[in-house]
Structure 1
Amino acid sequence: MKPADIEYFRDLLKQMRDEIQKKGEDTIEDMTEDVQVYADPADRATAESDRAFTLRLRDRDRKLIRKINEALERIEDGSFGICEECGEEIGIPRLKARPVTTLCIKCKSRQEEEEALLGD
């Protein structure tokens, strides 16, 4: 991979991480400000459901931040863009679609096929 490509992905990953962290900070701020008393139990249930959904999203974001940090570590150690399974280069289009990926499209497809067979 060219140095310009590496720099592109480093910047992209850092930008993704910053955006996710900002969303998390906004969520914390919103939840501390949004202490309300609801007269109607249905309104309270809706608010609780919305809050639970938001917390699930932030949990997914937390896991994605871990993957982003791991991808940044791979950039630093020179293994970014190399499939962990077969050792081949992961294509730039795949990395642009999913910059935290560790598998090339062929190995990922094979993994999904195996999971589908086990799931049936």
Structure 2
Amino acid sequence: MLASSVKKASKKNSAEVTLADGYEPSEDEEFMDERQLAYFRQALENWKQEIIGESKETLAHLQDGPIQEADLNDRASSETDWGLELRTRDRQRKLTTKIEAALRRIEEGEYGYCQVTGEPISLDRLKARPIATMTVEAQEAHERNEKISRDQ
């Protein structure tokens, strides 16, 4: 198995990975060959583990007990902070589902290809957002259609 170290790219959107031998996917090789798939599988697994770790930390804080601030303003501030933290964890739970779907696409041989056009998704896009399911062009068209639907 290939060892890796995580470089935190955009904690919000991805987990960048560098394989032990320094490998990084490039446009010069066959798209979604074995090494590219291993690279993205590792990136997705690392990202998922990071999210799970953060969720465990939140759960541990929640188990510490209720907020017991004497001052009403401090208590309100603490409750607001907890509300934000719980919403963040809910978004991350949904993100974990998308990561698992991307891992399934790797296993099924569909990873890296646009679900709308069937065209390869650029490596730069996949590095930035390994859960991407559409090319930039297809995503933009999808968002335009969504906006039109909402406006009507």
Shift of residue 7, structure 1, vs aligned partner: 0.5
- Find the partner of 1:71 among 88, 92, 102: 102
- Find the partner of 2:135 among 72, 80, 104: 104
Match of 1:85? 116
Shift of residue 25, structure 1, vs aligned partner: 0.2
Structure with the larger RCO, 1 or 2 (CA within 8 Å, 6+ apart): 1
Shift of residue 44, structure 1, vs aligned partner: 0.8
Whichever residue aligns with residue 99 of structure 1, its letter is P
Match of 1:5? 36
- Indicate the RMSD between aligned Cα atoms, in angstroms: 1.2
List runs of 5+ in structure 1 lacking aligned partners.
none
Shift of residue 100, structure 1, vs aligned partner: 0.6
List runs of 5+ in structure 2 lacking aligned partners.
1-31
Shift of residue 114, structure 1, vs aligned partner: 1.7
Figure out how many residues of one structure are paired with residues of the other and give that number. Answer: 120
Shift of residue 117, structure 1, vs aligned partner: 2.8
Higher strand share: 2
CA distance in 2, matches of 1:37, 1:25: 22
Q: Normalising to structure 1: TM-score of the pair? A: 0.94
SS of the counterpart of 1:58?
helix
- Find the partner of 1:31 among 53, 62, 67: 62
CA distance in 2, matches of 1:37, 1:22: 26
Shift of residue 3, structure 1, vs aligned partner: 1.3
CA distance in 1, matches of 2:39, 2:144: 31
SS of the counterpart of 1:39?
coil
Higher helix share: 1
CA distance in 2, matches of 1:6, 1:60: 26
Match of 2:84? 53
User: Moved runs in structure 1, 4+ residues, more than 3 A?
Assistant: none
Whichever residue aligns with residue 73 of structure 2, its letter is A
Whichever residue aligns with residue 77 of structure 2, its letter is T
Q: Normalising to structure 2: TM-score of the pair? A: 0.75
